[in-house]
Amino acid sequence: MCDGISVWVREMSRPEGERSPTVLAHELDRMHRMADVFETWVAAPQLREAQGMASLILAAALDNARKRGPGDLAASRPQLAAWMRRMCAWPSVRATALP
């Protein structure tokens, strides 16, 4: 998911005539597939219980997609959206969130 978001953001930063619609569509599809997977995975102990690296990476990826990428990938995924709201309450996430 992080790779897909990064590639999408980089591709969108190119001049409009140089962007690849194929790359953009592929990365958008990949982001949505991964968000669907994480919709069920957020109940896993690694993401639910501890403030660990897996949670922080997923929160950063979702925040990046919402602020610089194609939009809020959690919006249509209620479990992922609820998980992200809990993550956003953590001081470490608030302190390092994208402006």
The CATH code of the domain that includes 15 is: 1.20.1050.10
CA separation for the pair 10, 72 (Å, rounded): 18
CA separation for the pair 38, 63 (Å, rounded): 14
The range of the structural domain enclosing residue 49 comes to 2-96
CA separation for the pair 5, 21 (Å, rounded): 15
Please give the tally of structural domains in the chain.
1
| Per-residue pLDDT reduced to its tens digit, 12-67 | 999 999 999 999 999 999 999 999 999 999 888 777 765 778 888 899 899 999 99
* Torsion over CA: 63, 64, 65, 70 (sign): positive
Number of CB atoms found within 10 A of residue 33's CB: 12
Q: Is 0.95 topped by the overall pTM?
A: no
